[in-house]
Structure 1
Amino acid sequence: MELNMQRAWKRRDFLGLAACAGGAVFVSALPGWAAGRDEAFYFVQLSDAHWGFQGPPNPDARGTLPKAVAAVNALAEPPDFLMFTGDLTHTTDDPAERRRRMREFQSIIAALKVPVVHLMPGEHDAGLDQGAAYRELFGPTHYVFDHKGVHFIVLDNVSDPAGRVGAAQLDWLAADLAQQPQSARIVVFTHRPLFDLYPQWDWATRDGAQVIERLMPHPNVTVFYGHIHQEHHHMTGHIAHHAARSLIYPLPAAGSQPQRLPVPWDPAQPYRGLGWREVEAGRASGDFGIEERPVNG
Structure 2
Amino acid sequence: MSAQLDRRHFLRLAGVGVGAVFASGLSGCTAWATAPSRDFHFVQLSDTHWGYAGAANPEAKTTLARAVAEVNALPMPPDFIVFTGDLTHTTDDPQERRKRLREFKAIVADLKVQDIHFLPGEHDASLDQGAAFQEFFGPTHYSFDHKGVHFIALDNVSDPAARLGEAQLAWLAQDLSGLDKEAPIVVFTHRPLFDLAPQWDWATRDGSQVLAQLMPHAHVTVFYGHIHQEHHHQSAHIAHHAATSLIFPLPAPGSQPSRAPIPWDAAQPFRGLGWRDVQRHGAGDYALDQHGVKGA
Q: Shorter-chain TM-score: which interval?
A: 0.7 to 0.9
Q: Following TM superposition, by how much is the alpha carbon of 1:288 offset from its aligned partner in structure 2, in angstroms?
A: 1.2
Q: Name the structure 2 match of 1:141.
A: 140
1:147-166 equivalence runs, <5 A? 147-166=146-165
1:229 and 2:242 matched: no
Letter matched to residue 185 of structure 2: I
Letter matched to residue 82 of structure 1: I
Cα distance in 1, alignment partners of residues 115 and 67 from structure 2: 16
1:293 and 2:287 matched: no
1:245-256 equivalence runs, <5 A? 245-256=244-255
Q: Name the structure 1 match of 2:104.
A: 105
Cα distance in 1, alignment partners of residues 190 and 179 from structure 2: 23
1:208-223 equivalence runs, <5 A? 208-223=207-222
Letter matched to residue 115 of structure 1: Q
Q: Name the structure 2 match of 1:22.
A: none
1:59 and 2:71 matched: no
Given that 1:37 and 1:149 are in contact with CA atoms closer than 8 Å, whether structure 2 keeps it comes out as: no
Letter matched to residue 293 of structure 2: V
1:167-182 equivalence runs, <5 A? 167-182=166-181
Q: 1:170 aligns to what SS in structure 2?
A: helix
Cα distance in 1, alignment partners of residues 57 and 147 from structure 2: 38
1:131 and 2:130 matched: yes
Letter matched to residue 178 of structure 1: S
Q: Name the structure 1 match of 2:29.
A: none
Q: Following TM superposition, by how much is the alpha carbon of 1:37 offset from its aligned partner in structure 2, in angstroms?
A: 7.1
Letter matched to residue 286 of structure 2: F
Cα distance in 2, alignment partners of residues 122 and 183 from structure 1: 30
The count of corresponding residues between Structure 1 and Structure 2 is 261
Q: Following TM superposition, by how much is the alpha carbon of 1:114 offset from its aligned partner in structure 2, in angstroms?
A: 1.2
Letter matched to residue 155 of structure 1: L
Q: Following TM superposition, by how much is the alpha carbon of 1:115 offset from its aligned partner in structure 2, in angstroms?
A: 3.0
1:205 and 2:174 matched: no
Question: Runs of 5+ in structure 2 lacking a partner?
Answer: 1-34
Cα distance in 1, alignment partners of residues 81 and 159 from structure 2: 25
Cα distance in 1, alignment partners of residues 264 and 136 from structure 2: 32
Cα distance in 2, alignment partners of residues 258 and 109 from structure 1: 35
Cα distance in 1, alignment partners of residues 257 and 172 from structure 2: 36
Letter matched to residue 41 of structure 2: Y
Q: 1:277 aligns to what SS in structure 2?
A: strand
Letter matched to residue 49 of structure 1: T
Question: Runs of 5+ in structure 1 lacking a partner?
Answer: 1-35
* Cα deviation code 1:11-48 (max 9, x no counterpart): xxxxxxxxxxxxxxxxxxxxxxxxx9741000000000
Letter matched to residue 132 of structure 2: A
RMSD: 1.0
Given that 1:155 and 1:189 are in contact with CA atoms closer than 8 Å, whether structure 2 keeps it comes out as: yes
* Cα deviation code 1:55-104 (max 9, x no counterpart): 11100001100000000001111000000000000000000000000000
Letter matched to residue 182 of structure 1: K
Q: Name the structure 2 match of 1:73.
A: 72
Q: Name the structure 2 match of 1:16.
A: none
Letter matched to residue 58 of structure 1: N
- Stretches (4+) displaced over 4 A: none
Cα distance in 1, alignment partners of residues 261 and 98 from structure 2: 25
Indicate the percent of aligned positions where both proteins have the same amino acid: 68
Cα distance in 2, alignment partners of residues 283 and 122 from structure 1: 32
TM-score (norm. length: structure 2): 0.87
Cα distance in 1, alignment partners of residues 70 and 36 from structure 2: 28
Q: 2:60 aligns to what SS in structure 1?
A: coil
Cα distance in 2, alignment partners of residues 37 and 67 from structure 1: 37
